Amino acid sequence: MRTLTPHTLAILFCGALFCSLGCSDEAVPTSASSSGGGADTSSTTTSTSASTTTTTGTGSGGDAEWTYADWAVPGCGIEYAKRPELAFPALEWEECPGDVAGCERIKKNWPHEGVSGMGNPAVMGTANGHAIGLFVKLEQLEPRLVYFSDKGEPEAVYKQGTNSNCFLTRPALSVDGHWVGSQRLEVDPPSRFAFQPRSAPAGQVEMVPFDQLSQFQRGGDELLALQLDFGVGWYIYDRVTGQVHAAPADFTATNPTLSGGSAFMLRFDPDLDSPKAWAFSRQSGGFARLINNDPGVVLAVHADAQDLVWIEASPGAWPVPGTLRRSPFAATAAGVVPTTVRPMPPLGPVEAGAVGDGYYALAGDGYHIFVVRLADGRLWKMPLPPTNDGAYLHHVSHVDATYVFYKTSTHVYRQRLDQLGPGYAANELPP
Amino acid sequence: MTQRARRSRWIGIFIAGGAAALSSGLASCLAEDDGAESGIDEVAEATDAIVAGTADTTVNALYPATVRMSSPGCSGTLVTPYWVMTAEHCYDEPGQTAIDVDALLGAGGEVSVSHTNATSGPIRLWGADGFRETDIALVRLDQRAPVPYALPAPPPRTTNTCGNSLPGRLVGFGPAWYNENGYPEEGFYCLGAPPGGTRRYGIAKTWERDHDPPGTAYQHIFTSAPGEACTEMAGIGVGGDSGGSLYRTSDGQFCGVISGDGGWHCSKLPIYPFTLSCDYHTAAVDDGDAIVWWSQYLLDVDGEFEGTIPATPANDPDGDGIASLYDNCPLVHNPEQLTTFDDPDGNGIGAACDACPGFSALSQIPNRNFEVELALAYPTRTSAPVVVLRRSDYASDAAFAQARAERLDTFRPDVCDPYPAPLAKLQSGGDLPSSLPGSTTDPSNWPCLNYTGGCSTVTHNRIKVTPLSSPPVQAAGNPNERIGLRWCDCKEVTDFDDSVMGRAKCRNDSAAECQFNPGAYGLSTTGWKQLRTKNGSTWSNPSIGQEWVVPANGAPFFATWDFGALTGAVETDTNFRGVRGILWTHVVELSTPVFGLEPTNIKRYANALSDGSATQALGPNGRLWVAVNDWIDCPMCGFGVEQVLLERGNPWFRKATPQGLDVLEVSHAATREHFDAVAEGTRLHVSASEPPSLLAAQLATGQALVRAVGVRTDGSLVSQLSSQGFEALPLASELSGSGGPSFFRGEGLAFSALEQRLYVLGGLGSSGQPTNKGWFFDLGSASWRSFDLPAGESVGEVLAMSYRHVDRAIYFLDKSGTTLRLRRWHAQRMLDAGAIVTLATFPSSWNAFGKYALALGPTGDLGIVAYRGTSTTKTRLGRFTLSPAHRISTAELSSLTTQILAPPALTPEGFAYSVDAATPYAQTLAFATMPTAWRTNAPTIGAH
């Protein structure tokens, strides 16, 4: 393993002087009738976004001022737009197919072809709506990593060159800014990760002291979790302390849920058939078992700043019925004060889930989402919209009192909770 | 009965499986056996090989060069690390070529080292006037014999080195067969019993050249004095000692090959129940004629015995003082191979670098979880690096030993992998369930790929899956092992394909969500999707946790994968319908420890990733399609080892393999430079002539293989392209190649990876005239040599040329006037020896082609291909067989109305070639194998 250098917060400045190194002036057209993106006040409000329109490909109109990101891995041609509003269309939502009440999905108002041209989004609730980070693949153009404001306007856009060995990392949002990274196969070191503060000019980033190849990343307000390629290790970078914490050896775990200075995950070793709830906390300075329910197993664990929720079950061949429990937020076993919320339908280990505003949403299987109101245990079993395109559930990205955001293999959706119907009481189970 | 048999009785040999040989040998024995006797009371120790000899089993064996050959049943003498000298009569049966040197003796007891695939042998020395003095043959082993347990004993280089009289000992492995009374079974000697299990040597006796009877035929052999031999019985050869060694006792010099008796018998000796032949003959290896003969094979271009090339920094990267060609671990410093036996499994790979000690057939064993092991060892890489372990790079022996151990812990073949992974193979075909999502239209409406030989679109979106348990898991007894399969969609990933690199791109792609987390196999809602499968007659719903219970006997079984159920992932176009992704095979349940490891650990690491791409519309044996930017008619394109399709300006190789197309990035500067030069026409690229399967069998883990060479057209530079492992990208390195020929037009080039030699023949030169001079470049000495063709011979424009490993000969096509002809030249060690023979001429219908190619099949078949035709027939493919007497016969022949794109390869099934597929993929490459039984309109060739 490569030795990590702790708390190296290198601040790099990238100004326009570097532009000539890697700029191209291509841009994606903005839509003349794009709708407010992140705002959740209506389903399809129409507004006018940036007026500059460019053509696709190498069009030069409406210069987005693409600027070479010199913090990124050399040879990948990572650039950021100094005028992001000209680099990507504003976010639009459209009604879901099948006339599903309260359901919307991100409109592919960019050049696209195919069915799965975007990755799992990062969603963060704000006072005005939702900020969204989205990785998008564009037909005939370089991939984009786009951060939309809670107004749906692009406020940061990255793109990479045509080297297919390169990857822009997954979107990750913080109240203070966003995370970004680039990786390149078969170079050493292969990776660079950075945090772009909202308060700093674009390109003036804080470098993350971690350069190993990471097949998965998840970032939050204070932490960035990085999983090595092939899942052979987990690392958590703490932006507050500048330290990188390595998980114990043979730490096989789900992608964590992040909340403040804590991370929550299911750990599958030493017994792969007996997942346990673990947590990293800045307070304890490391990784530790969170829920002690031996010989039982934990099928899911998620948290936000207020609530810690998990599903306990007895060992057995999956899927098995479980019990949803809740505690006021805690990141150590000593702090957990469990109460029972409701019984859960049979499940296997679940990674995709989110907690917010007293609601818990998690993947039931590849085609349903369970939403639970923690206060009274009411449960909704929400099917995917009838798209007839074979799409299946990838991820549950965010839930709050208004929406649940999720991603299928083809689209990013949001579903209003008040349109879900009556649901099932705490003592009822869906069929 | 042959004259030989009448003249003398052979020391018995065993011809495996040859009933005729047995009966012949028996008749010979009975006719001349005049002293059989039984009922002797005392036999003492006089019952083993080298009658009454002494077992050579001391800690430091006295005669480690004498080896046992179970097929034929003889002994032999290792004269170089590769060559065994034995008796010619051991191969006396017509057509017999078998060789199995399967046991050597060394310190601490017997060590078995099997060599079942001799690459050459036997090469017989034929005498004009007799046989005793020429009863010598040479066979070349398929792999280097281990040192020191088979320390070679080279024959003397100078005539009569052994003198006219010498005290010497016979050493051999003659049989030790006993009857129920503990006595040797007489009859076995005559019939030719298998050699015994112990190397024995006799007492020192006096051996004399031209001794008894004196005369021309006996000037070239050593015989023992009859009286002395019959007085001192110990040390007389018996059946199975044939081919063994006569060593001079004073210095151990190898002087003779045990041949047999001369018909002078000391019969009915009181203590032996059979007739012993006391007048022994050994063929003198220092005879002048013999030296001339074996020098052709045993001496290298520098006049040194093969295997004695001194180590240099260039040919000994690990710095252990042993040149890589003879190093059993070319990249690991292990000088101990010179003093200890470090190859216990006898696979030619030293223990210092053997990833699977105790198992010899490494080349046959897959490494299923290669990618997992790669990730554990080299997390940032997508290909295994070439690691050279030099002792000088480590501070201590302990640190070096640890580095060795870590190296061996990586990339273990499945048979000895502590984390043995199951595997799933995708096969074409399968039934179509009705009324299911993804059911497709009638595939018969889809156009065929454009090639002759039949059109068939038979593959549906129901792909047969064969889950295969890991052999070690089965061996450990796991009747309830369950195998699970998952699949992840990678179609949106740029440049995704079935390769380690392609899968790495998909795993790390921020949209595909195909990250690999082996411990979390059961997780829902990642990019990994369960397959909709049918096991038996029941189709499952797509769900997490689809698994199969492996049959108790571990036998393969079929399930069916309905990739059509993954409708969102299915790509549909005019010519195909399919999905592209990764298939993840995983041990879901295991009950019994394997290699002493708990099932939980095995479940964690027993994962394999493979090609999860499947398509609906393919031709027979069709493979994946791939779009390319630009075609370059490169000489290495084909279906052999290189199978490289160059893309100009693109740093990628697309390598065709029998399993599909592999993609490798060329980041190595010298390699890029090499292929750029090839594309520009300033460098010639010559792939190894030997068939890939043969080279694959030759290559063992840890060994480098030179797969091609390149020559600058002004002859000023030679590069070699070698790979560590058969699947790895061959990387170029430059050799000093000054002094070579210049290439003008029509030179024939053939490279033998086995011989490590590039041959250049013919060409029109600067004057446009044929040449009587040839060239070769020997990689061992990194030097060019020129040689003159036999008197009166010259070669002009060569249309195609190849090296045939079976008879170590160059075959080439040229024209005499307008007649296409196939010619052969024996490229033996004596380069100016042997005439160029015309084997066949071809009808004029073979003339109207722009290019020709020769392809060698694994068994020595010869493929002759004419392509770039200008008439309706664009391509003509012929497979020919060659008899041991080099008679050529047509086996299969066919013509295509389609252009092939590059020289094809000869496979056991037929030809494999590439064609430009039908529109709309004008730049699409489809690979197809010719069906068998396609003999049509075979023209008559003019065999010579």
Query: What average pLDDT does this structure show over B415-443?
Result: 55
**Which chain A residue's Cα is nearest to B380?**
A213
| pLDDT band per the 50, 70, 90 thresholds, residue B220 | confident
Phi, psi angle pair for A54, to nearest 5°: -125, 170
Greater model confidence, A141 or B660: A141
Instruction: Identify the residue among B380, B598, B602 best suited for mutation to test binding to A, counting A beta carbons within 10 A and taking the highest.
Output: B380
Q: What's the CA gap between B586 and B602, in Å, rounded?
A: 10
| Closest chain B CA to residue A362 | B525
Distance CA B340, CA B149 (A): 8
User: What is the overall mean pLDDT for chain B?
Assistant: 67
Domain A6-419 fold: Methylamine Dehydrogenase; Chain H (2.130.10)
CB contact under 8 A, B545 and A348: yes
By Cβ distance, the residue of A135, A269, A351 closest to B510 is: A135
Q: How many CB pairs under 8 A join A and B?
A: 187
- Judging contacts by C-beta atoms under 8 Å, the chain B residues touching residue A352 are 524-526
* A290 Cβ contact partners less than 8 Å away, ≥ 6 residues apart: A264, A277, A278, A279, A301, A310, A330, A331, A332, A333, A336
Position A330 scores a pLDDT of 97
Tokens 């046989």 identify what position? B131
Q: Tell me if A417 sits within 8 A of A404, measured CB to CB.
A: yes
Overall average pLDDT of the B98-113 stretch: 54
Beta carbons of B603 and A272 less than 8 Å apart: yes
* Residue extents of the structural domains in chain A: 6-419
Q: What percent of chain B has pLDDT over 90?
A: 7
Among B375, B381, B492, the residue with its CB nearest the CB of A114 is B492
Name the nearest CA neighbour of B315 among B697, B735, B700: B735
Per-residue model confidence as pLDDT tens digits over A32-78: 333 333 444 333 333 323 322 233 332 233 689 999 999 999 999 99
How close B450 gets to chain A, by Cα (Å)?
Answer: 28
Residue of chain A whose Cα is closest to the Cα of B372: A230
Amino acid in position B44: A
Percent of chain A past pLDDT 70, that is, above it, reads 84
> Whose structure tokens read 């697309």?
B654
pLDDT given for residue B519 in this prediction = 72
DSSP H or E segment with residue B398 = helix B397-408
Nearest to B511 among A118, A233, A396 (CB): A118
- Judging contacts by C-beta atoms under 8 Å, the chain A residues touching residue B373 are none
CB nearest B507 (choices: A164, A190, A229) = A229
CB B48 within 8 A of CB B241: no
Residue A168: its chain B contacts at CB < 8 A?
510
Instruction: Output b/e per residue, B478-511; b: 16+ Cβ within 10 A.
Output: beebbbbbbbbbbbbbbebbbbbbbbbbbbbbbb
Of the candidate ranges A417-426, B98-107, B129-138, B825-834, the one whose mean pLDDT is the lowest = B98-107
B703-755 pLDDT tens trace: 677 878 888 887 777 788 887 665 566 778 888 767 788 888 889 999 998 88
- Please compute the mean of the pLDDT values over residues B795-820 and round it to a whole number: 89
In what helix (H) or strand (E) does residue A250 lie, and over which residues does it extend? Answer: none
pLDDT (0 to 100) of residue B802: 94
Residue of A nearest to B382 (CA): A186
Comparing CB atoms, the residue among B379, B438, B523 nearest residue A212 is: B379
Which are the contacts of B18, defined by CB distance < 8 A and separation ≥ 6? B93, B96
Cβ–Cβ under 8 Å, residues A394 and A407: yes
Test B510 with A169 for CB contact under 8 angstroms: yes
Show the tokens assigned to B359.
Answer: 């198992």
The two tokens of residue B355 are 């990833």
User: What is the model's pLDDT at position A335?
Assistant: 96
pLDDT in tens, B377-416: 777 677 778 889 999 999 999 999 998 888 887 888 877 8
Chain A CB contacts of B438 under 8 Å are 390
Say which of A168, A212, A231 has its CB closest to residue B517.
A231
- If phi > 0 it is left, if psi is from -120 to 50 it is alpha, else beta; for residue A357 that is left
Task: Answer yes or no: do A390 and B438 touch at CB < 8 A.
Answer: yes
- B105 phi/psi in degrees, rounded to 5: -110, 145
- What tokens does B152 get? 């070679």
Tell me the per-residue pLDDT of A172-213, one tens digit each, with 9 for 90 and over.
999 999 999 999 988 889 999 999 999 999 999 999 999 998
Check the CA dihedral B829-B831-B832-B835 and report its sign: positive
Q: Kindly report, residue by residue over B914-928, the tens digit of the pLDDT.
A: 655 443 222 333 334
Q: Which residue has the higher pLDDT, B558 or A343?
A: A343
To the nearest whole angstrom, how far is the Cα of A136 from the nearest Cα of chain B?
A: 8
CB B712 within 8 A of CB B737: yes
Distance, in angstroms, between B665 CA and closest chain A CA? 10
Cβ of A252 and B604 within 8 Å?
A: yes
E-state strands within A140-255? 144-148, 154-159, 166-168, 172-174, 177-184, 191-197, 205-208, 214-219, 223-228, 234-238, 243-246
Residues of chain A found within 8 Å of residue B375, distances taken between Cβ atoms: 228-230, 232
Q: Which of B38-42, B153-157, B662-666, B801-805 is predicted with the least confidence, judged by mean pLDDT? A: B38-42
Query: Which residue among A185, A268, A396 sits closest to B520, beta carbon to beta carbon?
Result: A268
**Are A188 and B380 within 8 A, CB to CB?**
yes
CB-based contact B568 A212, cutoff 8 Å: no
Q: Which of A193, A214, A272 to mutate to test the interface with B (most CBs of B within 10 A)?
A: A272
Phi, then psi, of B664 in degrees rounded to 5 = -130, 140
Half-sphere CA count of B811, side-chain side, radius 13 A? 27
What the block records as the tokens of B532 is: 């909709």
Please tell me the total number of residues recorded for chain B in this structure. Answer: 944
Q: What are B564's two structure tokens? A: 């059509």
Question: Which has more pLDDT, A390 or A137?
Answer: A137
Q: Which of B534, B598, B527, B621 is nearest to B568 (CA)?
A: B527
Q: Which residues pair with A28 in a beta bridge?
A: none
H/E run at residue B708: strand B704-712
Residue B905's contacts (CB-CB under 8 Å, 6 or more residues apart) are: B638, B639, B640, B691, B692, B855, B863, B911, B912, B913
Whether residue B908 has a cis bond before it, omega within 30° of 0: no
How far B380 CA sits from the closest chain A CA (Å)? 6
A-chain CB neighbours of B516 within 8 Å are 215, 229-231
Q: What are B663-711's pLDDT values in tens digits?
A: 455 567 787 777 767 656 678 888 888 876 667 666 555 567 787 888 8
Q: Which residues does B335 contact at the CB level (< 8 Å), separation at least 6?
A: B320, B321, B322
Measured distance CA(A12)–CA(A67) in Å, rounded: 14
Element (H, E) at A398: strand A393-399
Residue B680 CB coordination number (10 Å): 10
Residues of B in contact with A227 (CB under 8 A): 515, 517
Compute φ and ψ for A250, nearest 5 degrees: 55, 35
Minimal C-alpha gap between B777 and chain A (Å): 35
The percentage of chain B sitting over the pLDDT mark of 70, rounded to a whole number, equals 56
Do the chains contact at B545 and A318, CB–CB below 8 Å? yes
Distance CA A27, CA A87 (A): 5
Q: Using CA coordinates, name the residue in chain A closest to B572.
A: A114
Contacts of B525 in chain A (CB under 8 A): 350-352, 363, 365-366, 393-396
Across the interface, whether the CB atoms of B569 and A227 are under 8 A apart is answered: no
Residue type, B105: L
Comparing A5-19, A30-44, B143-157, B195-209, the range with the smallest average pLDDT is A5-19
Sign of CA dihedral B466, B469, B474, B479: negative
Q: Could you tell me which residues come within 8 angstroms of residue B643 by beta carbon, excluding any fewer than 6 positions away?
A: B636, B637, B655, B656, B657
Cβ neighbours of B543 in A, within 8 Å: 365-366
Q: Does residue B21 register a pLDDT over 60?
A: no
B370-377 and B500-507 are packed helices; what angle lies between their axes, rounded to 10 degrees? 70
A348 CB neighbours in chain B (<8 A) are 522-524, 544-545
Interface test with B, best of A2, A106, A108, A116 (most B CBs within 10 A): A116
**pLDDT of A95 strictly over 80:** yes
Nearest CA in chain B to A168: B510
**If pLDDT is split at 50, 70 and 90, which confidence band does B542 have?**
low
How far, in Å, CA of B837 to CA of A350, rounded? Answer: 74
At B350 the three-state DSSP class reads: coil
Rounded to an integer, what distance in angstroms lies between the CA atom of residue B118 and that of residue B131?
25
Task: Please report residues of A whose CB lies closer than 8 A to that of B524.
Answer: 347-352, 363, 365-366
- Chain B residue closest in CA terms to A172: B510
- How far apart are alpha carbons B261 and B279 in whole angstroms? 5
- Asked if A393 and B525 come within 8 Å (Cβ–Cβ), the reply is yes
pTM of the prediction?
A: 0.59
| Residues of A in Cβ contact (< 8 Å) with B380 | 186, 188-190, 212-213, 229
**A256-270, B129-143, B189-203: which has the highest mean pLDDT?**
A256-270
> Average pLDDT, stretch B474-488?
79
Task: Test A165 with B568 for CB contact under 8 angstroms.
Answer: no
Please give the residue that has the higher pLDDT: either A214 or B88. A214
Q: Is the Cβ pair A231, B520 closer than 8 Å?
A: yes
- Name the nearest CA neighbour of A429 among A370, A354, A384: A370
Residue A113 has pLDDT above 80, yes or no: no
Residue A47: per-residue pLDDT: 32
Contact between B511 and A116 using a beta-carbon 8 Å cutoff: yes
Per CB-CB distance under 8 Å, the chain A contacts of B521 are 272
For chain A, the first-to-last Cα distance in angstroms comes to 48
Instruction: Give the three-class secondary structure for B194.
Output: coil
pLDDT tens by residue, B140-155:
776 667 665 667 888 9
pLDDT score of B809 = 87
Identify the residue whose tokens are 């399919």.
Answer: B578
pLDDT band at B24 (very low <50, low <70, confident <90, very high): very low
Reported as a single tens digit per residue, the pLDDT across B328-376 is 888 899 998 877 767 777 677 788 888 887 776 655 567 888 887 887 7
Round to whole Å and give the CA distance between B314 and B734. 11
CB contact under 8 A, A409 and B569: yes
CB contact under 8 A, B523 and A351: yes
Q: Which residue has the tokens 């990994």?
A: B528
Residues of B with CB below 8 A from A77's CB?
Answer: none
Q: Which residues of A touch B497 (CB under 8 A)?
A: none
